Structure 1
Amino acid sequence: MTESTTNELGWMLDEVLRVPEALHAILLSADGMLRAHSAEIGRDDAERLAAGLSGVQSISRSTAEFCGSADTPWQQTLIEFAHGYVFLVAAGEGAYLAVSTTENVDMEAVTYRMHKLVDRLGRELTSPVRTDTGSFL
């Protein structure tokens, strides 16, 4: 079984949720595949959100020139809603970590916790680009 099938990294994502008002966490690949999810979000919802968040990251990355140069590397995206936030950070080559929170979260604490998790786990959070996308024959 693959990591995404067994959710082996899910317990590590739950550590980010120790920040009060943090709700859910998912680990996704650049192509929108779910790698892991926290305990409080169902697999179906996590898969749907992983696909959407990969698009958000792609759009964020494509607007780098707005900050001065098209070569500016993407690091993080923050989306604000009326009742909460979604934080999306780079988590290694081809991998991203997303966390949702309420509007009352300590934003510095959640981003600090996310970056510490990414730093600590390093290679385990890396999702290399898939090269074999041809037929299964």
Structure 2
Amino acid sequence: MHDTVTGELNWLLNDFAQRVTSVRQAVILSRDGLAVAASGDLGREDAEHLSALASGLQSLARGAGRHFAGGNVRQSIIEMDALLLFVSAAGDGTCLAVLAEAEADAGLVAYEMAVLIKRAGRHMQASPRFGTQVGGERLGMS
């Protein structure tokens, strides 16, 4: 993606994380697990790690949907002691992953994610790439 688009996505993620009080971090990722954009408080290594985890989770969910005739995956939610992890399909080849506090209103977070996906829709198309800037740092191959 172009730096301008990545900058806009980073801005949207920062706004989302600040507006939705229970949200800690958010990342937009390509289907193959590359971080496209991240909220500012998520460092490069954590953005890459969250992207890889979210990609794997979406892949498993898609496999379950295919095998058991469940259809397309809309959202996956993992409930942990201290966090909730949300992963939603966001566009052609992209996902949105969000970490929120365990006490978060899951319905509200999911709704706000859908609003964010609509706001950023035209930018949420990804194919495998290198050299993407996330959270102020350049990701990928140099």
What are structure 1's unaligned runs of at least 5 residues? 132-137
Who is 1:134 aligned against? none
Who is 2:102 aligned against? 103
What are structure 2's unaligned runs of at least 5 residues? 130-142
- The question of whether the paired residues in 1 share the 8 Å contact of 2:50 and 2:97 is answered with no
Higher relative contact order (CA closer than 8 Å, sequence separation 6+): 2
How many residue pairs get aligned? The number is 127
Shift of 1:7: 4.4
- The question of whether the paired residues in 2 share the 8 Å contact of 1:77 and 1:87 is answered with yes
The answer on 1:118 being equivalent to 2:100 is no
Aligned-residue sequence identity (percent) comes to 35
- The question of whether the paired residues in 1 share the 8 Å contact of 2:30 and 2:128 is answered with no
Deviation readout 1:23-57 (Å, 9 max, x if unpaired)? 00000000011100001110111012211211111
Shift of 1:109: 1.3
Who is 2:61 aligned against? 60
Shift of 1:16: 2.0
- The question of whether the paired residues in 2 share the 8 Å contact of 1:16 and 1:110 is answered with no
Between 48-57 and 29-38, the greater mean CA deviation after superposition: 48-57
Tell me the distance in 2 between the aligned counterparts of 1:22 and 1:130.
27
Mapping 1:57-96, distance limit 5 Å: 57-65=58-66, 68-69=68-69, 72-96=71-95
Runs of 4+ in 1 over 2 A off after TM superposition: none
Tell me the distance in 1 between the aligned counterparts of 2:61 and 2:48.
20
Mapping 1:2-21, distance limit 5 Å: 2-3=2-3, 7-8=6-7, 9-17=9-17, 18-21=19-22
Secondary structure, counterpart of 1:26 in structure 2: strand
Secondary structure, counterpart of 2:91 in structure 1: coil
- The question of whether the paired residues in 1 share the 8 Å contact of 2:74 and 2:88 is answered with yes
Tell me the distance in 2 between the aligned counterparts of 1:74 and 1:65.
9
Specify whether residues 27 and 58 from structure 1 end up closer, same or farther in structure 2 by C-alpha distance, changes over 3 A only: same
Tell me the distance in 2 between the aligned counterparts of 1:76 and 1:15.
21
* TM-score normalised by the chain length of structure 1: 0.83
The answer on 1:49 being equivalent to 2:50 is yes
Who is 1:135 aligned against? none
Say which one has the larger Rg. 1
One-letter amino acid matched to 2:106: M
